Structure 1
Amino acid sequence: MWIRSVIGLRKFLMPASGLGLNVIRYNIGGGDNPSHHHMRFGGDVPGFRSCENCDYNWTSDANQRWILLAAKERGADIFEAFANSPPYWMTNSNCSSGGQNNENNLNPDYYDQFADYLTEVVKWYKEEQGLTFRTLEPFNEPTTGLWHEFGNQEGCNYILDYLAMANVIDKIVAYLNIKGLSNTTSVSIADEGAFEGEIATIAAISTLQLIGDHALSYVSQYNTHAYFGNSRIPLFDMAKNDGRRLWMSEWGSWSSKDMSASIQLSEEILNDMRNLKPVAWVYWQVIEHAPNGTYGNEYGLIGADFSNSTISLDIRLSFYGFAQYTNFIRPGYQIISTDDGDTLAAQDASNKTLVLVCTNKYNASDIWNFNVSKFNLSLFNVYRTSNNNETLKLLPNTWNITDGILTYESPANSITSLIFNVTQ
């Protein structure tokens, strides 16, 4: 599964008009103190309750709500809600970007109200919009220590405060039950910034181990970000042993005009899918603000300048690099093993389809020999993205399979998808 927006659908052997994504994560905004003006563009997400005594304002956060519902209309079928921060008035610092001196920021007097707030948003979407969030994630990188007062985006630390996290989970589960949501929405955690590492407090495994068995018993899904950490296998093993669904729920890299961002993105997908083995892989931000067409300071696969009334879109090479995966490896496909670290293979037995996505990360062309003798293959199409003015380009089918070996020469810094019919 591939995440963040749904732009188009696809037919077999034909790329979609977009990325063909089917899952979206929705940020339930906290909303910052109205007297504060320190967030980056998009860093302050409007909340639905602007003060403790205010009623819910369901017209708030119009832009993100539009994206969420538009994704649903275009085929998104798995939804997760998450929170970067509680509303500013529930925090110790009175600021939704974090605490003073990077301290923990959820005021203990508001554990109950925070859980009520998150579940009320989930309830409203289900009852008023017909949209059901499968999971609700109350935290975002909770022990990284990144979130501080007057920062550039919403965030909330829970450094070594696992009891607070457990209390929030308990109260969320209670409210899901009270509001009749527990049959459709469960809790996911903890969106840490790393799998594991020497600094235990920023690691997904450490948080899951220390949050306590009682709170963990309510959790249906483990989420991790892929920014830091050495080995992905221990977290995969933990999720498997605990019987939990595992998501790589956030990763992104700076944009670039050339293939460098695409290659980095592809290498991350390859590493994660081969070793972490998540059931969903989430790119952080498909579209992001890029004033005056700038590159390098944002993560968007599409750059958009929202400063003017006329919005111009710049589709980056990394968009097409991502599409080399998302257009052809579809939900339900099974990842199968290969002995090449730069190739991801996937099979859909029901549709009799085999997909190979190959990345040449070097500055020189390379010849690859694929042993596909275990499959009875017939028709296949080849699409490529590279620095050579190729953006998901359908290539002439000039390759033959001889004695079960397909030979392919890939140009430097390119990503190629080979899609086969399996006739037997």
Structure 2
Amino acid sequence: MRKFIILTLISSAFHFVSAQSNTLLEVNVDTNVELQTIHNFGASDAWAAQFVGTWSDSIKSKTADWLFSMESNKEGSPKGIGLSAWRFNIGAGSAAQGEESGIKDRWRRTEGFLQNDGRYNWNKQLGQQWFLKEAKKRGVDQFVAFVNSPPIQLTKNEKAHSDDGQGANLSSGNYGAYADFLSKVLDHFKDSLAIDFDYISPFNEPQWEWKGGQEGSPWNNDELANATRVIDSVFVQQNIHSKIEITEAGQIDYLTGKKDKHENRSDQIETFFSPDNPYYLGSLKSLAPKVAGHSYFTTWDVQKLKRKRERIAEKLLKYPNLEYWMSEYCILENNDEIRGKGKDLGMRTALYVARVIHADLTIANASAWHWWLAMSPYDFKDGLIYHDKKVDDGTVSDSKLLWALGNYSRFIRPGAKRILVTYKGANDVDNLKDGILLSAFKNRDGSIVVVIVNQKDEMCDIKLHMSLPSKTPIKSYVTNESFNLHKMGAGELGNGKIQVFDKSVTTVVLKPQL
């Protein structure tokens, strides 16, 4: 039966016929009710790009195409997932210290532009710079620079990690020097490479102690606020247009309330955006009107997944001028459904992450969604693309996760509006856990994108109720165990009834006549 259905899907364009009877889900899509703006989907160059970016042209070009390409093959299927944002890690310079850095894994040390004599060497991080330039060449026009640790020349212990984890590894006397360092890096990339970073994130995951293993620095809220004020004053003085992105919280619940263990590193929306708070930053000229958080350790169980994101939405109602960006995620936690350890190129991980994307976009109202490692050498669920852990050259492999993310990133373009979708069960806990998840978006060009995540073990029929003519052109793209963002056909909307595979992510693109 499955072989017959696949042939039917391909040969009959979009309107599918099956001999079997499937569950029918009635879905209302209201194109006139617009919700949050979607700015981008992205990933990070840490840490592997420093090596992969120096490999053979064929390997690194294939990697860049998978990540950034908006082109299609002769069958009409995408060659890549069309990421619309790229996160560039500004290194602290631990690579120069080798094993003395206190970071055992060579791949987690980074080069640094600032040198011990106070001068700058712009020939550092060349592998990362290659991917940065290729991202722009392939159409990416939104860039975020982020810092795990200030340069080792400025830190308290001259290391890229903390000794005790109690506070910032940067004395207040060096806040100005840190701000000047950031300004010089941003100016260089703008003037020399025509890369204009839209945002700079100076404080990545300030909640954690960062006492080794990789570059990082803890920051208490008062330290973060005081340093941000200094950075803002330097940016204004030096005419830096990149906006400061905070808070890059290690978990999204650090944004929305106080946490006992880290009370002075939590409740960050109120701390930095309530005018009554002594650490209020909302009036700073250089501060981006958004908060950033990472979805780690808030995705299981499904009731927790929903509740934590509802809290974000509630805070956005209180502060309507703020946006929320989900700026980093991979699977770290071990739970009843999935474990972080163990590379998985299949649909199990892809569907787990698709549920998280859906929840972040439709419950937390995220305006951006970023995966963590674009490429990974680890036996872990942390990469979109996997490769050998070799310095000089190697091979690369794609994953179902890469293409499932592409069901969103390739078709929901910058400036799109999420639009209202209603159906029975929708974001109820039971449906979030193992049901069908739908979201819809309106691009600037008027095209409508509907993403369908079918977590069920059975094929399902979807009836889309939309105020569009029956002759509206329509295309569909599927990621499942058999296909990687494969174009299944093209046709017309007709009566709006479509069929989706079991354990799949399907994107439906409609092109209303304007």
TM-score tier (shorter)? 0.7 to 0.9
Q: Which residue identity is paired with 1:199? A: K
Contact 2:222/2:279 (8 A) holds in 1: no
Q: Name the residue aligned to 1:186.
A: 243
Q: Deviations over 1:200-255 (max 9, x none)?
A: 63898712322445433222232111114442234344446251343111112354
Residue 342 of structure 2 is aligned to residue 249 of structure 1: no
Q: Name the residue aligned to 1:199.
A: 259
Per-residue deviation, 1:65: 1.5
- Cα 1:399/1:338, change in 2 over 3 Å: same
- Cα 1:152/1:202, change in 2 over 3 Å: farther
Contact 1:194/1:203 (8 A) holds in 2: no
Q: Which runs of 5+ in 1 are unaligned?
A: 291-295
| Partner SS state of residue 295, structure 2 | strand
Residue 163 of structure 2 is aligned to residue 80 of structure 1: no
- Cα 1:288/1:368, change in 2 over 3 Å: same
| Partner SS state of residue 114, structure 1 | helix
Question: Whole-Å Cα distance in 1 between the matches of residues 127 and 269 of structure 2?
Answer: 34
Q: Deviations over 1:67-91 (max 9, x none)?
A: 1122122211111211111122322
Q: Name the residue aligned to 1:293.
A: none
Give the stretch that moved more between structures: 266-275 or 17-26: 17-26
- Cα 1:355/1:114, change in 2 over 3 Å: same
Q: Identity, % of aligned pairs?
A: 22
User: What RMSD, in angstroms, separates the aligned Cα atoms of the two structures?
Assistant: 2.7
Q: Name the residue aligned to 1:384.
A: 478
- Cα 1:15/1:198, change in 2 over 3 Å: farther
- Cα 1:39/1:238, change in 2 over 3 Å: farther
- Cα 1:246/1:14, change in 2 over 3 Å: farther
Q: Name the residue aligned to 2:367.
A: 279
Per-residue deviation, 1:308: 5.3
Which residue of 449, 464, 478 corresponds with 1:355? Answer: 449
| Partner SS state of residue 133, structure 1 | coil
> Normalising by the residue count of structure 2, what TM-score does the alignment of the two structures yield?
0.72
Per-residue deviation, 1:322: 1.1
- Cα 1:15/1:172, change in 2 over 3 Å: farther
- Cα 1:204/1:374, change in 2 over 3 Å: farther
Q: Which residue identity is paired with 1:222? A: V
Per-residue deviation, 1:399: 9.3
Residue 140 of structure 2 is aligned to residue 50 of structure 1: no
Per-residue deviation, 1:199: 2.1
Contact 1:193/1:203 (8 A) holds in 2: no
Give the stretch that moved more between structures: 134-143 or 333-342: 333-342
Contact 1:26/1:79 (8 A) holds in 2: yes
- Cα 1:373/1:279, change in 2 over 3 Å: closer
Which residue of 312, 315, 322 corresponds with 1:235? Answer: 312
Contact 2:41/2:84 (8 A) holds in 1: yes
Q: Which residue identity is paired with 2:308? A: S
- Number of equivalent positions: 405
Alignment of 1:96-107 (within 5 A): 96-100=160-164, 103-107=167-171
Residue 251 of structure 2 is aligned to residue 156 of structure 1: no
Q: Which runs of 5+ in 2 are unaligned?
A: 1-39, 44-63, 273-277, 299-306, 332-339, 428-436
Alignment of 1:159-178 (within 5 A): 161-178=220-237
Contact 2:473/2:493 (8 A) holds in 1: no
| Partner SS state of residue 231, structure 1 | helix
Q: Name the residue aligned to 2:486.
A: 393
Q: Name the residue aligned to 1:415.
A: 505
Per-residue deviation, 1:304: 1.6
Which residue of 398, 401, 417 corresponds with 1:315? Answer: 398
Q: Name the residue aligned to 2:275.
A: none
Which residue of 375, 378, 382 corresponds with 1:299? Answer: 382
Which residue of 38, 42, 61 corresponds with 2:103? Answer: 38
Q: Name the residue aligned to 2:88.
A: 26
Q: Structure with the greater relative contact order (CA < 8 A, sep ≥ 6): 1 or 2?
A: 2
| Partner SS state of residue 419, structure 1 | strand
